[in-house]
Chain A
Amino acid sequence: MLVDLGPVVGSNVSFFGERLGCRIHVEDVFSEIEKADVERRLDTLGDALVGRCGRPEGSVDGVLCWDVFDYLDKPVGQQLAKELVKMLAPGGALLAFFATLQNPEPLYNRYVVKDEEHLEHRTLRASKARHHVLANRDVNRMFEGLTVADSFLLLTKTREMMFRKPSATPRGVPLEF
């Protein structure tokens, strides 16, 4: 099971569903942010996101966060991250992008998987500018319980990070020294 937190992208569904054989669950966090703003309930956005995105503990093999955390207030981001860590299965992976430069435009980003090595970036209009930059320390603290498997600084000055949930050590397997 793969959870995708970005706006649905048809070619991504085909890539992960057909080529990799994943079952995919899509929750568009951006549309949830817009809806919460219109309905004046941004103060309960964290609860709403956890309610919508939450899956049974340890039931998810992968999470595609894209750059959603760059658009969530810190407490909301922390609440969502905690839920994502909980629902990841041991050995599961979480991919997230974090900007290092703030974008003042009222835009969201949509990422389109072209193939195994290429990702295309497109923008989506937002009702207002919500983009902000998270400090490295805050990112690592948000995903407590996961280890950083890979981290790259892209040419676009975006940090691409892959986190992994440690696998459970099988019982009865002797540790060798």
Chain B
Amino acid sequence: MNIGKSVVIKGELLGSEDLTIEGQVEGKIELKDHVLTIGPNGRIKAAVFAKSVVVLGEVIGDVSASEKVDIRDKGTVEGDLISPRVAIAEGAHFRGSIDMQRGQRPAETKAERAEAKASEAKASETKAQPAVAASAKA
């Protein structure tokens, strides 16, 4: 779903799908469990709540993400960030506070869970090998 360059929204913007904004939004944006992308032409003056937020345009307001905030090159954020992961590219502009909620466990992605399972399986396979080799010798 895209909000075009010429669109101006004032108020609360709620959604249950990924959203890309190239226009202007003033107020509040809430996209729990989904990805919000502020495109290069996007101009946001709002409190933002989403699963992940990618900023290529401008955001003035606090940004809360349950997974990650990613401010790309030429992206601008003025406000506080609350997220377990924050990536800020060289060339991005940021002013405000960053709280990475270290006391809380960050949400695991599917890829991370799969990788963890694969490492566990490999580790238990490696442990079993010496036992197999020992019994073969005997």
Residues of A within 8 A of B (CB): 8-10, 13-14, 17-18, 21, 23-28, 31
Contacts and interface: CB of A to CB of B under 8 A. Distances in A.
Contact of B86 (A13, A25, A27, A31): A13
Q: Chain A contact residues: over half helix, strand or loop, or mixed?
A: mixed
B100 A18 contact: yes
Interface of B: 71, 85-90, 92-100, 102-103
B102 A8 contact: no
A8 B94 contact: yes
Contact of A13 (B93, B98, B102): B98
A41 B94 CA distance: 22
B100 A31 contact: no
Nearest to B84: A18
A27 B94 CA distance: 8
4 closest A-B pairs (Cβ-Cβ)? A10-B88, A21-B102, A17-B100, A8-B94
Contacts of A14: 86-87
B97 A23 contact: yes
A10 B85 CA distance: 11
Contacts of B97: 23-26
Contacts of B95: 8, 26-28
A154 B14 CA distance: 53
Contact of B89 (A10, A21, A28): A10
